[in-house]
Homo-oligomer: A and B are copies of this chain.
Amino acid sequence: MTADDQTRANGGMGATGRSIPLMGRDSEPTIFELSAPGRRAASFRTTDVPEWPAEDLLPAGLLREEPLDIAEVSERDLVGHVTRLSHRQYSVDLGAYPLGSCTMKYNPKLCDDAASLPGFTNAHPATPEGWTQGWLELLADLDARLCAITGMAAATLQPPAGAAGELTGLLLMRAWHAEQGGRERTKIVIPDSAHGTNPASVTLGGYETVTVPSDDRGCVDLGALRERLDDDVAGIMLTNPNTLGLFEEDIAEIAAATHEVGGLLYYDGANLNAILGVTRPGDMGFDIVHMNLHKTFAVPHGGGGPGAGPVAVGRRLVDFLPGPRPVRGDSGWSWQTPPKSIGRVHSWHGNALALVRAYSYILASGGDGLQRVAERAVLNANWLRHRLRGVYDVPFDRPNMHEFVASTGSLKRSSGLRAVDVAKRLLEEGFHAPTTYFPLIVEEALMIEPTETESLQTLEALASALERIAASPEDAAAAPRTTPVGRVDEARAARRLVPTFDARAADESDRLS
């Protein structure tokens, strides 16, 4: 009996869901189906505050008539529910997660501890600076270390994710160009292999995207770029290594050409993991750099977030940074906003606890450890490319950095095996799938990033699985068979939109306008 059947079968009062764990591979009811009127988990501190009724406290017209229906469950049922759901979820702590561009490395547990210290977690963000000197010192030191790593002059820690960093960077460009005076610049150049956040951020930054194609090496086509560079161009956004996992060897030329027309260079730091301690965006000529602390610096991804996307800039842009920033004075640290600041990009100080995680990771790794990260991330990815090059297409089959893009192009033609099939088959082999169908310039792309924390033995197992999958394309259609649910009907989800539990009950015709 599925949870659905049971919901239907239940005519009586109280909870409609039953609680049985994954071992039975049954689906888990929603918390709303586990609810029975009158059950509760919550208890409150004894305060001795007078117990005025709501009507004495608030104007009658504002009060709701009935309590808002949430769910009524015992702590036991809540714990069972969430624990069972956790068993329906893959994660880095369960196994390898070779998701290209996402850098799903193992995040050391010591960082969890650091971010759980009450001296960090219990501080209200509006506490006066004299009472949070530890916080300001930590943020300032993290800022300095991120600048040392990227070769920049100063950073803002406010952006809560990479995309927020991108937009912050574009607003910095805008402010800088405005100060330079002259005709307003309207365009940002982006390679065709770029991540979707780049063009989306460009639009939100009030610019227009100009796409530059990749050449047959998988890098920015320098000639094509030169054609696009003129004094309408505010700047260029690049990730280096790029999303094919290839280092843009012409980066010095790209920088010179862009600077020549008065443009600025923005570094999308999603791939910074590959070059830690080896080279720095600042040295390559970038003016603005965002980092995904949730990729490179071991902030766990949390099922989708939170992360943190600090933005570091070269000297000429420092005065434009968002504020306030921690500044050291005679009597300790204080908050200061740069003179020409673009303003706040976060209501407080960014995703502060995520910053603590990254900070403790950087402390533990040190300069030596960070360089090892890059070396071994690149070693793992190259090893895997070598192992798989005869099995899958590798469209740009040359030394890659921390990831590489394979393709089922030939296999699709010979046996119908698509990238999505490989992904689903890999799931049933116990691995997470690589990123599929990205970058857009490779057909049937499989973007594979093993990360530095996976061992050779894990890589061997992953490679064997990928070989088996290629060798038995006929298994693909039924995959995945060993996962908590089988292949999910994505089309139906969009066609018959059920975005909430309450929408399930509603008449289907009402659902979409």
Contact = CB atoms under 8 A, between A and B. Distances in A.
A68 interface: no
A428 B24 contact: yes
Given A36-B455, A456-B14, A20 B79 contact: no
Interface in A57-80: 74-77, 79-80
Nearest to A95: B21
Given A79-B109, A108-B75, A94 B23 contact: yes
A75 B24 contact: no
A84 interface: yes
B23 A427 contact: yes
A479 to B, nearest CB: 12
A95 B455 CA distance: 35
Which of A17, A20, A461 gathers the greatest number of chain B CB atoms within 10 Å? A20
Contacts of A337: none
User: How big is chain A's contact interface, by range?
Assistant: 35 or more
A141 interface: no
A437 interface: no
Given A84-B95, A87-B87, A95-B84, A461 B75 contact: no
Contacts of A106: 74-76, 79-80
Interface in A18-67: 18-26, 34, 36, 39
A107 to B, nearest CB: 9
Contacts of A490: none
A361 interface: no
A166 interface: no
A91 B84 CA distance: 10
Contacts of A23: 90, 94-95, 427-428, 430, 482-484
Nearest 5 CB-CB pairs, A to B? A24-B430, A20-B430, A18-B461, A76-B106, A21-B94
